A and B are shown apart, each in its own frame.
Chain A
Amino acid sequence: MAEATFTLRASKGASASRARRSASKQFLQALPFLAPTIFGFFVFVSGPVVAALAFSFTKWDLLTPPKWVGLGNYQQMASMPLFWKTLGNTFYYTVLYLVPGIILPLLAAIFLNQKAKAISIYRSIFFLPVITSTVAVALVWLWLYNPELGIINYLLSLVGIKGPRWLADPRTAMPSIVIMSVWKGLGYTMVIYLAGLQGIPQELYEAAAIDGAGRFRRHIHVTLPLLTPTIFFVLVTTIMGSLQVFEQTYMLTQGGPAYSTTTLSWYIYVQAFQWLHMGFGCALAYVLFFIILVLTLIQFRIQRMWVFYG
């Protein structure tokens, strides 16, 4: 809306002062402002995107000239069990993260959507993990997860549960990474939800209350439908981000134990920067790009079935 009105006004202003300027002259005027961005777009974004595709058809170790192998990297990938495991791990992480990563922040936002001094303190605490680096917090979590010395297993032992070996066990390593990621990302998603909640007109709640709806039913029938655009945005970006999970793997497990946490991003890093398989790394990156693209398109397709733009 604001955009449309603005364009209208701008063209009016333009007709007053710059009416007879030709298109190229207008462009030359804008060029100094756009030059850094245009340069960056070609050199650091679109150039590399094209180059990565080209590299993905080669074998290249940076030390000797690249060798053209056509679809060789992609064929090699398809025949590697580790690649499929990596792909599976990436989806496993995404699926495990999705439900708590979307619902817990929503609950936190609904609880904290009030204006009170105490509420802002809770909000700040919830947001603290967002601003701190994954490296620093992962160091702490490494210790919390320690099977013998860690405080988590100690607390579990207090209630009579023998805690698992967390990051050291292939079965629990990925869920452990997910738990830390949910903890770290909760505040971010919560703030996005809070912004969405504040956009819901208060009258709707009052109207629902008049109709006799209790607190819970008001949330189901007013909050949820009106929040679906926000939930949709959170869903799209969460999936996008989860498919790219890297820092947690780097700090907590380095892809282990027994490749149980080797995700696509981690594998790209290992292939390209530890083994110098630049071509193979680019091919993997394109697989990731393709998956993200397809999943995002699918989500935009099915959004009209459940997203409510009031």
Chain B
Amino acid sequence: MLSLATARRRTRAKQGPFWLALLGGVFKPVVVHGLLILASLIMALPFIWMVLSSFKTQPEIFIFPPRLLPRVWRWQNYVEVTRAMPFGWFTFNSIKIAFLVVLGTVLSASLAAYAFARMQFPGRETMFLIWIGCMMIPGQVTLIPQFVLFRSFGWLDTHLPLVVPSFFGNAFGTFLLRQFFMTIPMELEDAAVVDGASNFRIYWTIMMPLAMPAIATLAVFTFMGSWNNLLGPVIYLTTYKKMTLPVGLAFFRGQYGTQWPLLMAGATISVLPIVALYVFAQRYFVQGVVMSGLKG
């Protein structure tokens, strides 16, 4: 405490006259917040523009200088966009695929993570390192052989290539859950071990419930990845009704390239669910990023 007080006194001594310090005390927060507000406006501007423009009429976008607010709020755009393109199907497909991918990733990653965190077997560390090392392989390398493989299964233009691999392991998820499992005290399982519970029972009835925060993090992160995935749906899906929101939007743009209000309505529809999820599960999104930074 003493040291802090001295420090303050010294810095104050350095700052010069009292009135200057007072000015700094008022001025600095104003500058800092001013800068932050400006930066936030720049960051948010594309979203503000997207939502406001989705209510404009087609002629209104040619007005110069551009107006921020629509003259009349044209909710009709949202009806029209769903008539022009099967947005209902896009949304349904995106939800269905994201749900299955989350399920597959959480199940397969947690099983492997349990083995790596709690079981003894030869080669455990090596296997784990190799599996984690797989995160370094760029997706472009496996893309073409995977495509060839799924084509030979007759899976083109189905959702299977987007969903099935997630049931067979996920390196990031394995890493994330293993780290969490290792923080759970062994004592919690000891009683179950004494009672002769199987590994699977310990995994399912003790570890999984305790790991819920980590599972939520993985689930949210995986959901986001699947929801926003473009390349996979672009190369695998060709029928409109089977497309997801990103690829549907991209196609929609190809057909209605200049109908900006409709495009903006479509974009707004596609970001709303993920933004809603973000509002409710913000800390899991952030936790996911932090964990992805830890693996290095």
Contacts and interface: CB of A to CB of B under 8 A. Distances in A.
Given A23-B122, A140-B49, A233-B293, A135 B246 contact: yes
Contacts of B214: none
Contacts of A6: 117, 182
B167 to A, nearest CB: 6
Contacts of A36: 107-108, 111-112, 167-169
Given A108-B39, A244-B139, A272-B144, A133 B270 contact: yes
B121 interface: yes
Given A23-B121, A282-B144, A289 B168 contact: no
B36 A111 contact: yes
Main secondary structure of the interface of B (DSSP, over half): helix
Contacts of A49: 137, 141-142, 145
B142 A135 contact: no
Nearest to B220: A131
A281 interface: yes
A30 to B, nearest CB: 4
Interface string A209-248: 1101010000000000000001011101100100110110
B148 interface: yes
A112 B286 CA distance: 14
Nearest to A7: B125
Contacts of B124: 30
Most buried by A among B144, B145, B148, B260: B144
Contacts of B165: 40, 44
Nearest to B268: A136
A139 B289 contact: no
B293 A125 contact: no
B87 interface: no
B138 A10 contact: no
Interface-centre pick from B45, B65, B119, B130 (highest chain A CB count, 10 A): B119
A194 B278 CA distance: 19
Interface in B37-52: 39-40, 42-47, 49-50
Nearest to B173: A37
B205 interface: no
B23 interface: no
Q: Is the interface of A mostly helix, strand, loop or mixed?
A: helix
B120 A11 contact: yes
A308 interface: no
Interface string B273-285: 0110010001001
Nearest to B286: A191
A202 to B, nearest CB: 11
Interface string A10-31: 1101100110000100110110
B290 A191 contact: yes
Given A33-B111, A133-B228, A250-B230, A48 B141 contact: yes
B55 interface: no
Interface string A246-274: 11001100000000000011001100110
Contacts of B285: 127, 130-131
Given A29-B121, A40-B108, A143-B260, A13 B43 contact: no
A247 B234 CA distance: 11
Nearest to B189: A13
Given A51-B148, A134-B228, A140 B199 contact: no
A128 B111 contact: no
Nearest to B36: A122
A132 B120 contact: no
B230 A135 contact: yes
Interface in A95-115: 108, 111-112
Interface in B125-143: 127, 130-131, 134, 136-143
A33 B115 contact: yes
A210 B66 contact: no
A135 B249 contact: yes
B114 interface: yes
B82 to A, nearest CB: 16
Given A13-B186, A17-B193, A192-B289, A33 B142 contact: no
Contacts of A55: 144-145, 148
Given A10-B120, A37-B108, A247 B142 contact: no
B111 A2 contact: no
A188 B146 CA distance: 29
Interface in B247-296: 247, 249-250, 253, 260, 263-264, 266-268, 270-271, 274-275, 278, 282, 285-286, 289-290, 292-294, 296
Nearest to B247: A135
A118 B250 CA distance: 36
Interface in B94-126: 107-109, 111-112, 114-115, 117-122, 124
B138 A288 contact: yes
B22 interface: no
